[in-house]
Amino acid sequence: MSQYKYVLQEKDLPTHWYNILADMKQPPPPFRHPATLEILQPDDLMPVFPEALIKQEMSLERWIEIPHEVRDALKMWRPTPLHRAIRWEKALDTPARIYYKWEGVSPPGSHKPNTAVAQCYYGKQEGLKGFATETGAGQWGSALSFAAQMFGLECKVFMVAISYQQKPYRRIAMETWGGAVVASPSTMTKAGRDILAVDPETPGSLGMAISEAIEYAVTHDGFKYSLGSVVNFVLLHQTVVGLETREQMEMAGDYPDIIIGCAGGGSNAAGLIYPFLKDKLDGSRPQLRAIFVESTACPSMTRGIYAYDWGDTAKTGPVAMMHTVGHGFVPAPVHAGGLRYHGMAPSICALLEQGEVESRAYHQNTCFEAAVSFARAEGFIVAPETAHAVKAVYDEAVACKESGESKVILFNNSGHGHFDLAAYDAFFRKDLSDYELEEDKLRQALADLPSVPV
Ligand SMILES: *Cc1c(COP(=O)(O)O)cnc(C)c1O
């Protein structure tokens, strides 16, 4: 009899997060100060992030203990199941063995609360009143609103305007969990007012919303800023995903040849991939392939350049060495709102440069096609972001069919698409555009990068 899923007990929840910086040949270059461009000091971040998280950001410790209270919060929905996609394998007629880690079972429906609960725990420990943050598709804002409620904190969410309009249900979910949501750019901050003065019709961007959230946090007593992706501590918190999956793959008696995740800032993909990539970095699994998948509408890894850039539009956040399409870049309004960030996690970018991992990009129509194929076999309707990972798995599974190889393919099914059905509807009505970023627009966006002293 076939086994469809591999399930762990609450007692099997990881006790430590895995920090890949300890095992990289060369960790990513340090962050720079947004104004002086000098190497960023921990003190510079104090007004922005809780102290415990700044320590984690800079840490080179391989294993960092997960506080008891955080494990307790995670147990509400973790460990999450690992599924074998037996029905989809049959539908694709592939000899590949396909596994997916299902993160859609969390209350907000994605991997994002894995870091949200940790950040709220440390914020509460530090005596904060609340967090300000940005959200694209609304997944991160939902996760933080949910976690803030769990730990008795306030949550102020600046939501990218285009998503605020396209996805009212996400806003309502945030409000249900007690979050306060405003469309960004807004008139509540100087950053927002400055942007609106230049372009009152702007669809907004994550870069703009980050600027507003940081400004709100540093100008409101008892508030700090919370970030849902990109930085080291977020990727660290997400490694519970891969650590659980290692146990589950062992139960299945398999080890992945290829691991795939979609990447906006890179946190769900890294969360699954890093605990396995450890084996490649230490030489025990040299053949392991890891693929980060992005949107052609915001192709930081596949078409951006590797350079220092600001993390946000208003140049108030830390400057990071990363693959970027430019902090002023406003991506086309694709439905995968979570894949519209102009940069990428610095650790992923360093690993790309070192040839340890791969990247690729897809147009949205082909992703929805793969996601529909997946839904008709496996049942789950995935988020538009996740559909990018599903498409990469689809291509690898088809390649296995052609070559006759039965590779083991593992991907992170990062969240459900129940609030994104309008996007599926647009796909069925052939109403979805594929956006190829013009060379001109890219060059223009890359013209204003900082010149960092070395
Ligand atoms: C936010 C989100 C993403 C993209 O963010 P990462 O930090 O790259 O993981 C992917 N999938 C889902 C379901 C999301 O909500």
Q: What is the pLDDT of residues 12-60, one digit of tens each?
A: 999 999 999 999 999 999 999 999 999 999 999 999 999 999 999 999 9
454 CA distance to ligand 1 middle (Å): 33
Q: Whose CA is nearest to atom 5 of ligand 1?
A: 264
Structure tokens at 151: 């730990």
Q: What whole-number distance in Å separates Cα of residue 359 and Cα of residue 396?
A: 14
pLDDT reported for residue 200: 95
Q: Are strands 5-6 and 82-84 parallel, antiparallel or unpaired?
A: antiparallel
Mean pLDDT computed over 185-198:
96
| pLDDT at residue 309, as a whole number | 96
Specify the residue with its C-alpha closest to ligand 1, atom 10: 385
- pLDDT value for 450: 93
Which one, of 304, 264, 265, lies nearest residue 388 by Cα?
A: 264
- Using an 8 Å Cβ cutoff, are 262 and 177 in contact? no
**% the chain with pLDDT above 70:** 100
| The architecture CATH gives domain 68-109+233-439 | 3-Layer(aba) Sandwich (3.40)
3-state secondary structure of 372: helix
Query: Which residues have a Cβ under 8 Å from the Cβ of 105 and sit 6 or more positions away?
Result: 77, 80, 81
pLDDT at 247: 98
Which of 203, 212, 426, 233 lies closest to 312 in space, CA to CA?
A: 212
Q: Are strands 223-225 and 305-310 parallel, antiparallel or unpaired?
A: unpaired
Q: Which of 261, 295, 293 is nearest to 275 (CA)?
A: 261
Instruction: Find the 402 Cα to ligand 1 centroid distance in Å.
Output: 31
- To 10 degrees, what angle do helices 113-125 and 139-150 make? 40
Task: State the burial class of residue 218 (Cβ atoms within 10 Å of its Cβ: 0-12, 13-18, 19+).
Answer: middle
Pocket of ligand 1 (CB under 6 A): 110, 112, 139-140, 229, 262-268, 338, 383, 385-386, 414-415
Q: Residue 364 pLDDT > 80, yes or no? A: yes
Mutate to test the pocket of ligand 1, among 105, 133, 139 (most ligand atoms within 8 A of CB): 139
Tokens of 102: 């299902």
- 264 Cα nearest atom in ligand 1: 8
40 φ, ψ (degrees, to nearest 5) = -70, 135
The residues, any chain, with a CB within 8 Å of residue 303's CB and separated by 6 or more, are 325, 361, 437, 442
pLDDT band at 331 (very low <50, low <70, confident <90, very high): confident
Distance (angstroms) between ligand 1 centre and the Cα of 262 equals 7
Output the residue whose Cα is nearest ligand 1's atom 7: 267
Local confidence band at 136 (pLDDT 50, 70, 90 cut-offs): confident
Specify the ligand 1 atom closest to the Cα of 238. 9
Residue that is written with structure tokens 């992030």 in the block:
49
Closest CA to 348 of 185, 186, 238, 206: 238
pLDDT higher than threshold 70 for residue 454? no
Nearest to 415 by CA among 290, 269, 277: 269
Between the CA of 133 and the centroid of ligand 1 the distance, in Å, is 15
CB 296 within 8 A of CB 363: yes
CA of 240 to the centre of ligand 1 (A): 15
| Per-residue model confidence as pLDDT tens digits over 212-258 | 999 999 999 999 999 999 999 999 999 999 999 999 999 999 999 99
Instruction: State the chain's mean pLDDT as an integer.
Output: 95
Closest CA to 217 of 47, 45, 52, 53: 47
Instruction: Map out the domains of the chain as residue ranges.
Output: 68-109+233-439
pLDDT at 437: 86
Mean pLDDT of 409-432: 96
**For the residues 390-404, what does the mean pLDDT come to?**
98
51 C-alpha vs ligand 1 centroid, how far in Å?
A: 25
Res. 334: pLDDT tops 90: no
The stretches of 346-383 forming alpha helices (DSSP H) are 346-353, 364-378
Residue 333 has pLDDT above 80, yes or no: no
Please answer whether residues 62 and 338 qualify as being in contact, where contact means their C-beta atoms are separated by less than 8 angstroms: no
Percent of the chain with pLDDT over 90: 89
Question: From CA 266, how far away is CA 236, in angstroms rounded?
Answer: 11
pLDDT band at 350 (very low <50, low <70, confident <90, very high): very high
